[in-house]
Structure 1
Amino acid sequence: MAGWPTTHGSAAARQAPAAASDPVVRRFVDAGFIPLGKTTTSEFGALPFTENQALGISRNPWDPDRTPGGSSSGAGAAVASGMAPIAHAEDGGGSIRIPASCNGLVGLKPTRGLVTNTTVSVEGLGTSGVLTRTVADTSAALDVLARHDPAAWWSPPTPHRSFATAMQKDMPTGLRIGVLTDSPIDGIHVHPACTEAVTVTLRTLEAVGHDIVDARLPLPPTDELVAAFTTIWNVGGSGIVLADPDRVEPHNRALRDAARSIDSWSYAAGVRKTQQLSRRIVEGFLAGFDLLVTPTMACLPPLVGAWRAGADADPLMALRNSYPMGVFTSVFNVTGQPAISDPIHHDDATGLPVGIQIVATPWREDLLLQVSHTLELAHPWADRRPPVS
């Protein structure tokens, strides 16, 4: 935002005020939003925890011993705690949907290219959106953000009807609803509360006339999926001007070293492989489903500091320890499909919110919002608030 510093959550970044606002910021301001301030994020958005030199520890309003998720950590905590009714967030591997699940909020990742920033982030994995309490607020915000941008690298026309209006239309029945509750990455356990949240969702959708189908998403082998994603993810901090590179956090230094070890020919091959995997998944999705329901995360909001186990010896353990949080979300950053996290459930033992993710075919945000509105009517969540300590 013009006149405000942009530090990307890093103690190494410049503190100089920005000369111009990003297009997303301009759309918010033009729509009448009043910016209240900036919220915390993990350094360069690399982790779903914000616990760093620059910003300290961001905590979950539902339980301060736990993370609010991330990388849009402060955005989730601010909306959940009532500091603001809506917060901008960005999602390159789950950074809107993960804090939505951790904080009991609605978080929509739009289709790749629908919302444009000044530049394309991490080969199109990343996109802007919002965190809100209600589907209606998310729909109205998407009407503000989804505008044709003739200066962008790619940008579709402005949608011909508003998302807020689409949400109010009668929802079609007989949708083919697919299910994925096993981790897309081998060896990751899915918490029973996350599976139960999916069960509650399917029961509700079946009751209003949708069909639960027995089809499998054509996911590639774990090693292919992880390699494709990390080839691009490793360069997430590129282009950020640093005042003191020595203050970059250890895991991001390791990511930068990994990125520098790949020559440009191999990087291009990795990007091409990512596109091939995306095509395989989306074509299978189109053949099998109208919507797919998954847990948003494979775990409850982790304890503060959980990402640090083993990271002193191997800084990249910080990312591996975060896999249970992003294992269901990051797939759809690769495919570019729209996906929403809805706060339909709470864990009985801890009282913590548990989100479910619904994924649609590209450009069907309207369908996601309609179905989410149905779930919201069946399981009202807007007035659920963290306990007052």
Structure 2
Amino acid sequence: MSRVHAFAGDALGDLDAVGLVAAIQDGEVSIPEVVEAAISRTERLQPELNAVAYVAYDRARAAARDPRGGFFAGVPTFVKDNVDVALMPTQQGCDAYRGTPLAADGDFARMYLSTGLVPLGKTQLSEFGFSPSAEHPRLGAVRSPWDTARTAGASSAGSAALVAAGAVPIAHANDGGGSIRIPAAVNGLVGLKPTRDRIAQDKVSRQLPVRIIADGVVTRSVRDTAAFLREAESVYRELRLPPIGDVTRPGRKRLRIAVHTGGLGRACAPEVTELTVKTAHLLEELGHEVEEAAHPAPAYVPDDFLLYWAMLAMMIVRTGRRAAGPTWDRTHLDNLTLGLDRHARRNLHRIPGAIRRLRRLQAVSAGFHRTYDVVLTPTLALETPLVGHLDPTAPYDVVMERILEWVTFTPWQNATGDPAVSLPLATTSAGLPQGMMFSAGSGGEATLLELAFELEEASPWASIRGPEPLC
């Protein structure tokens, strides 16, 4: 197992984002020093992790000399390469077209960067975010710093790999089927998918018939995630949702928590089940009421969600030239994207019904959460696969079956719109992080953060730092 990281005795040290803010404000480090350290670390990590899609180091250096305001002023970050950032192209993890630098920030980037974060560039993702493993025949695979033979997980892989390995303390991620939570689980991070409409989103995400995508961050600490949501809420507030506020400590209320290790038609590996049960026992020791419960998902959910996912691929494939311009070349699309397109075209008559049923799931979940405050599941059903296991150039039927075996639990909250957080509470016998996922009803981020603070305190997560040499 080859483990790499870039933690060192430079201006970043091993500080999380909130700690770095304090160090900057106290004059212990300067913003230019912090940004330069992040650039240096990223350059050392890139050959090992292949996490960066686009670099904007000169822009970051200029921003460090004249930082904008905001709580995170001067904290270096990366933005995932599927949202629009001014003066950067949006390439979507794809080489079927040539992106060009954009004139203005999209709605999400405008909100994100208003917090003071300094972007060093953009991170690599799977093609259009369809695969839970960012592997590409020409762009290469994004690798986990915990074991570079393994995938860094999902379409926010690049962001998660860089945060876990110490390049930056916080990075943008988004989640249309688990892509905040999956890479958090794989890389030993905190990854919270917010409630639908909680965070400002770009226009294309807002216009989906079922708004399955949510934007957020991956971090190494609960307080960083909580601070980001607090600051985001100060910039953009969805008035139909209860405010999150400033969550800084464990909650006092003891929760009623449901546990299931099977759902959406799939079962977990025995070791993953065992680790989930251990987490349930920890919750009981902390005084929460925990009981096993059947997953509330109706039997049709996996097929409907896959068909909806396929419809999105079909829209991209069929409108690619109009959207991307004359450089569009569909022969560069991978087998997974093209296979999803075929699946949608063969089942066009079923798409309207799938959309209607997916829209009704919010009410199903709301009924379940009238009984349970929180639900515990593993984030992923199996241990992190090796690079190549989910190779998007493999036959579509083969790779899709492998995806469905691994990504069993996370799509539910994309369909319902509920919040969910993956916490790095477990470690496999191979020494790899195995995330545990906690979900709540719509608007329940504060409950999840309070529980996350409590679990972080009761069972601190494993560190990637150790006797292994720096990369």
Same fold (TM over 0.5): yes
Instruction: Check if 1:55 corresponds to 2:133.
Output: no
Distance 1:136-1:149 versus aligned 2 partners, 3 A rule = closer
Distance 1:116-1:320 versus aligned 2 partners, 3 A rule = farther
Equivalent residues of 1:96, 1:130 under 8 A apart = yes
Q: Which of the residues 282, 290, 312 maps onto 1:204?
A: 282
Tell me whether 138-147 or 331-340 shows the greater mean CA deviation. Answer: 138-147
| Higher gyration radius (CA) | 2
Tell me whether 192-201 or 332-341 shows the greater mean CA deviation. Answer: 192-201
Q: Which of the residues 287, 291, 307 maps onto 1:231?
A: 307
Q: Distance in 1 between matches of 2:400 and 2:106?
A: 28
User: Which residue number corresponds to residue 32 of structure 1?
Assistant: 116
Q: Distance in 1 between matches of 2:176 and 2:274?
A: 26
Render the CA deviation track for 1:326-362: whole Å, top value 9, x for unaligned.
20111111111110000011112x1101110001111
Distance 1:324-1:282 versus aligned 2 partners, 3 A rule = farther
User: Which residue number corresponds to residue 369 of structure 2?
Assistant: 286
User: Which residue number corresponds to residue 265 of structure 2?
Assistant: 185
Q: Secondary structure at the match of 1:358?
A: strand
Instruction: Check if 1:319 corresponds to 2:404.
Output: no
Q: Which of the residues 315, 328, 347 maps onto 2:409?
A: 328
| Percent of aligned pairs sharing the same letter | 36
Instruction: Give the letter for the 1:100 counterpart.
Output: A
Equivalent residues of 1:81, 1:386 under 8 A apart = no
User: Which residue number corresponds to residue 379 of structure 2?
Assistant: 296
Q: Distance in 1 between matches of 2:240 and 2:426?
A: 36
Q: Distance in 2 between matches of 1:109 and 1:68?
A: 18
Instruction: Give the letter for the 1:342 counterpart.
Output: L
Q: Secondary structure at the match of 1:124?
A: coil
How far the C-alpha of 1:97 sits from its partner, in A, is 0.6
Instruction: Give the letter for the 1:142 counterpart.
Output: L
Q: Which of the residues 429, 434, 440 maps onto 1:354?
A: 434
User: Which residue number corresponds to residue 21 of structure 2?
Assistant: none
Q: Distance in 1 between matches of 2:138 and 2:197?
A: 31
Instruction: Check if 1:7 corresponds to 2:91.
Output: yes
Instruction: Check if 1:273 corresponds to 2:361.
Output: no
Render the CA deviation track for 1:286-327: whole Å, top value 9, x for unaligned.
233111100110111101101149x64x32432221123320
Q: Which of the residues 341, 349, 353 maps onto 1:256?
A: 341
How far the C-alpha of 1:249 sits from its partner, in A, is 1.0
Distance 1:191-1:38 versus aligned 2 partners, 3 A rule = same
Equivalent residues of 1:80, 1:385 under 8 A apart = no
TM-score, L = length of structure 2: 0.74
Q: Which of the residues 109, 113, 119 maps onto 2:197?
A: 113
Q: Distance in 2 between matches of 1:267 and 1:183?
A: 23
Q: Secondary structure at the match of 1:258?
A: helix
Q: Distance in 2 between matches of 1:147 and 1:259?
A: 40
How far the C-alpha of 1:181 sits from its partner, in A, is 0.8
How far the C-alpha of 1:120 sits from its partner, in A, is 5.3
Q: Distance in 1 between matches of 2:465 and 2:366?
A: 37
Instruction: Give the letter for the 1:117 counterpart.
Output: Q
Equivalent residues of 2:365, 2:441 under 8 A apart = no
**Deviating 4+ runs (over 6 angstroms):** none
Tell me whether 287-296 or 232-241 shows the greater mean CA deviation. Answer: 232-241
Equivalent residues of 2:251, 2:454 under 8 A apart = no
Q: Which ranges in structure 1 are unaligned for 5 or more consecutive residues?
A: none
Q: Distance in 2 between matches of 1:347 and 1:17?
A: 42
Q: Distance in 1 between matches of 2:248 and 2:263?
A: 30
User: Which residue number corresponds to residue 456 of structure 2?
Assistant: 376
How far the C-alpha of 1:384 sits from its partner, in A, is 4.3
Render the CA deviation track for 1:44-89: whole Å, top value 9, x for unaligned.
1001111114521111111111111111111111011111101100
Tell me whether 254-263 or 121-130 shows the greater mean CA deviation. Answer: 254-263
Provide the aligned length of Structure 1 versus Structure 2: 373
Instruction: Give the letter for the 2:306 counterpart.
Output: T
How far the C-alpha of 1:271 sits from its partner, in A, is 0.6
Tell me whether 73-82 or 237-246 shows the greater mean CA deviation. Answer: 237-246
Q: Secondary structure at the match of 1:345?
A: strand
Greater RCO structure (CA 8 Å; 6+ sep): 1
User: Which residue number corresponds to residue 100 of structure 2?
Assistant: 16
Q: Distance in 2 between matches of 1:167 and 1:249?
A: 44
Instruction: Give the letter for the 1:127 counterpart.
Output: A
Q: CA RMSD in A?
A: 2.3
Q: Distance in 1 between matches of 2:203 and 2:396?
A: 29
Distance 1:171-1:48 versus aligned 2 partners, 3 A rule = same
Distance 1:383-1:74 versus aligned 2 partners, 3 A rule = same
